[in-house]
Structure 1
Amino acid sequence: MSRLVQTVLPARLGVPFRWLIASSWTSNLGDGIAMAAGPLLVASLTHDARLVALGATVQWLPPLLFGLLAGALADRWDRRRIVLVVNWVRVLVLGVLTATIGTGHASIVLVLAVLFVLGTAEVFADNAAQTFLPMLVRRDDLALANSRLQTGFITVNKLAGPPLGAALFAAGAVWPFAGQAVLVAAAALLVARIVLPAVPRDPDRRSHLGRDIAEGFRWTVRHPAVRTLVLTIFIFNITFGAAWSVLVLYATRRLGLGEIGFGLLTTVSAVGGLVGGVLYGWITRRVSLGNLMRIGLIVETLTHLGLALTRQAWVAIGIFFLFGVHELVWGTTSVSVRQRAVPRALQGRVGSVYTVGVFGGLVVGSAVGGVLAEHWGVTAPFWFAFAGSALFVVLIWGQLRHVAHTDEAPEPLPEDDAPEESARDVAGPAGGTHPH
């Protein structure tokens, strides 16, 4: 057992990283349960495709509204404390939702409101939590540590969570949300065990939140690789969001799958992600990052086309498997690019710009998907996703060359924009408090 632990979680990553990954896996299991249970709850309360798509929108809208603020606060406040407070708020809200469902007073308006509040809480928790890793492991270990986090995310959030959530929902609508509340509480207790090194801050430096947010945005615009990633994820999430916002309707109406079958689609995608995680090192040794991104965008484009064409569940399952491989490879690469490139004092703000790109695309896409599905059927969003993705691949193709330079040291900011630490400080250990 100790050899297995050492292989999965090498000692050089440190004990704090093990607390972080335990918290991440626990929280993500709860989120995976809700990933299936949330849409099923909304679909059980309404047959309007626009309201079903709105269920996705209200969860994707908070990062767009509050992402930049969350990033600025993460660079100002105690990041661990942010995660702890917000997770306990999530536990409280989930408890209210559970009680409402259990007493038979759940309505579509109430459920959508609760989903919005939960999504808002996650913005602040996730933005702060994503800054932990560069403070806990060496720069050279970021790819390995991220692959472990991604593998755990896929295993529990996508592989175990959705079918468990669907099965719990089939047993009773109250159970998946009660289970998520318990898991989020456990994750908060695990985060409390993490000790983070201090982030240097100039006590004489007093700036407004607006200036802090603008500083992170300017840095993102000036860095070619990160700028390219933000633009790409924004456009591709418009197309992805359009299709995935009505996925529960596609699975039940188009493929004829039941509640558990809907959860299994995500499970198959997760299996593909595990395969991608195993192959990631082998792939990146043979394919440049720029070409890896190009291949990924082609795979995603063809995913939408395949799902638009098929009526066979087994074909869709195969497509979801390949999409899962792509999702892991893309996700691990993009987060490693950002963490290597961004100075530590800007991690929260630059991460929030990326988050706004992610969820801004999803919000726009989900609104489009709901309208298309309501007027032209559940495959219309997938045709839109295919056409839009294909067009963008052609337009962005040349810009992906910037990603090939991400192994370079982080770029320092101009003198008047420089935060509390230089780019040089990010590459090495954080003084005596570094776990290594």
Structure 2
Amino acid sequence: MKSRPYRIQFAAYVLAMMADNVEHVISYWVVFQKFHSPTLGGFAVLSHWLPFLLFSVAVGGLADRFDPRRIIQCGMLLFIVASAGWGIFFLTDSLQMWHAMLLLVIHGCAGVLWQTPNQLLLFDIVGPADLPSAVRLNAMARYLGILVGPAVGGVIMLGLGRSHGIILNTLFYLPMLLWLFRAPSSGKSATPRRFAVRGLADIVQTIRDIAKQPVLISMTWLAGLTSFMIGNAYHAQMPGFAGDLGHGDPGVSYSVLLAADAAGAVLAAIALESWGRLKPSPRTAIMLAILWSVTLLAFATVGIYGLAIALLFAAGFFELSFNTMAQALVQINAPADSRGRVVGLFNMAGLGMRAFSGLTVGVVGAGIGIHWSLGLSAALLFGLLLALYRRALKPS
């Protein structure tokens, strides 16, 4: 936070993440009221995460070849198009299901154009020495957006209505869009590089490139395993957990449980920044992920509301800790001439694989119950992470 460019980036990132969640609040509510379609709800999840699975490495390749600031601006423009599109359809009362699907896809593509280049921009702004701190604070900014976005979205929708409210939301993306015209760059990411963007071949080549680099391969495996087995799929099942806990109004209980998870993540960022003694290493990141899996296993089995809140708070703490540590390790150890592709591969594993966590927790939960599905997923993840930890202990 001593860096003025980083402070501006942090504030703009919070606003953009808040706008992302404001759009979710308003658009999901209207879509639910109009169509009452669980299928469309499932498509919303897929359209959000599949672009990360399909295009993260390609976008990382673009960021290796072109200025990442311009790629982020393209993402901000797509976010603005999506929010404005929702507003126009709401104003004219002409929204059809295919319109909603198209806007959801645009929103998902905007996200993948934003996240990987933004991580490269962080490296340029603060350098490798302060990168772990910048990654943690940006993760905190993401959770702040998740915490504040729904509240702001609700207030905007009540005060201005859904149509004008979501059009107003486009303004929250402008600080990031405009600041990027003057954002500093070390020149490493702004200089075109010799590699062309080759689609699937890039993914295969990047996997080959990191295969003999233990830190990169272990952190990519960590991101993929945690995202595939659980990811954030338990968030979508939180209304069911709140109802089963049977503590007062289910709507209030649901909100408190989600807030506990996000609050734990925010506290983790503050604590790790203040303490400064938890140095990034693959073993530490894997151990924090193991603690996360154990915490969620306990959450899946408890029936006491207060204990469930405490466990979700701890889960948020551990999740931010291992995710940000893994991300920082990948960015620091990635080769300079292919950093975008390596970070893109990490995001493909860490964000793209979340598209499948809905199967491991959600679809399976429909058959055996959400407590069993989350518990079994967490237990299996625990075993896989132990194997990954033992492998990390072996000398390279």
Check whether the contact 2:285–2:323 (CA below 8 A) recurs between aligned residues.
no
Q: CA deviation at 1:280?
A: 1.3
Check whether the contact 1:34–1:177 (CA below 8 A) recurs between aligned residues.
yes
Q: Gaps spanning 5+ residues in structure 1: where?
A: 1-8, 406-436
Answering whether residue 229 of structure 2 is matched by residue 239 of structure 1, we say: yes
Amino acid at match of 2:371: T
Correspondence for 1:120: 109
Output the CA distance in 2 between the equivalents of 1:204 and 1:146.
Answer: 25
SS of structure 2 residue aligned to 1:150: helix
Check whether the contact 2:296–2:374 (CA below 8 A) recurs between aligned residues.
yes
Amino acid at match of 2:111: E
1:96-245 matches, cutoff 5 A: 96-106=85-95, 109-154=98-143, 156-166=144-154, 168=156, 173-174=162-163, 177-199=166-188, 205=194, 207=196, 209-210=198-199, 213-241=203-231, 243-244=233-234
Output the CA distance in 1 between the equivalents of 2:135 and 2:194.
Answer: 32
Amino acid at match of 1:265: L
RMSD value over aligned CA atoms?
A: 3.3
For this pair of structures, how many residues does the alignment match? Answer: 392
Output the CA distance in 1 between the equivalents of 2:165 and 2:373.
Answer: 28
Amino acid at match of 1:223: Q
SS of structure 1 residue aligned to 2:146: helix
Amino acid at match of 1:84: Q
Structure 1 residues 37 and 268: alpha-carbon distance in aligned structure 2, compared to 1, 3 A threshold: farther
Check whether the contact 2:21–2:146 (CA below 8 A) recurs between aligned residues.
yes
Q: CA deviation at 1:46?
A: 6.1
Check whether the contact 1:243–1:385 (CA below 8 A) recurs between aligned residues.
no
Answering whether residue 52 of structure 2 is matched by residue 52 of structure 1, we say: no
Structure 1 residues 335 and 314: alpha-carbon distance in aligned structure 2, compared to 1, 3 A threshold: same
TM-score, length basis structure 1? 0.78
Structure 1 residues 237 and 203: alpha-carbon distance in aligned structure 2, compared to 1, 3 A threshold: closer
Output the CA distance in 2 between the equivalents of 1:169 and 1:351.
Answer: 37
Structure 1 residues 321 and 200: alpha-carbon distance in aligned structure 2, compared to 1, 3 A threshold: closer
The partner residue of 1:271 within 263, 283, 303 is 263
1:29-428 matches, cutoff 5 A: 29-34=18-23, 36=25, 40=29, 43-44=32-33, 51-106=40-95, 109-154=98-143, 156-166=144-154, 168=156, 173-174=162-163, 177-199=166-188, 205=194, 207=196, 209-210=198-199, 213-241=203-231, 243-244=233-234, 246-250=236-240, 253-255=243-245, 262-281=254-273, 285=277, 289-401=281-393
TM-score, length basis structure 2? 0.85
Amino acid at match of 2:67: D
Amino acid at match of 1:124: L
Q: CA deviation at 1:271?
A: 2.0
TM-superposition CA deviations, 1:63-120 (whole Å, max 9, x none) = 1111121111111122111111221122012111123234444455543432222111
Output the CA distance in 2 between the equivalents of 1:65 and 1:44.
Answer: 31
Structure 1 residues 95 and 253: alpha-carbon distance in aligned structure 2, compared to 1, 3 A threshold: farther
Check whether the contact 1:242–1:382 (CA below 8 A) recurs between aligned residues.
no
Output the CA distance in 2 between the equivalents of 1:197 and 1:236.
Answer: 33
TM-superposition CA deviations, 1:28-66 (whole Å, max 9, x none) = 221243455565555545666565344222211111111
Q: CA deviation at 1:326?
A: 0.9
Check whether the contact 1:56–1:245 (CA below 8 A) recurs between aligned residues.
no
Higher mean alpha-carbon deviation, 311-320 vs 116-125, is at: 311-320
Q: CA deviation at 1:308?
A: 2.2
Amino acid at match of 2:357: G
Q: Gaps spanning 5+ residues in structure 2: where?
A: none
Percent of aligned pairs with the same residue?
19
Output the CA distance in 1 between the equivalents of 2:265 and 2:197.
Answer: 41
Higher mean alpha-carbon deviation, 207-216 vs 357-366, is at: 207-216
Correspondence for 1:418: none
Check whether the contact 2:72–2:118 (CA below 8 A) recurs between aligned residues.
yes
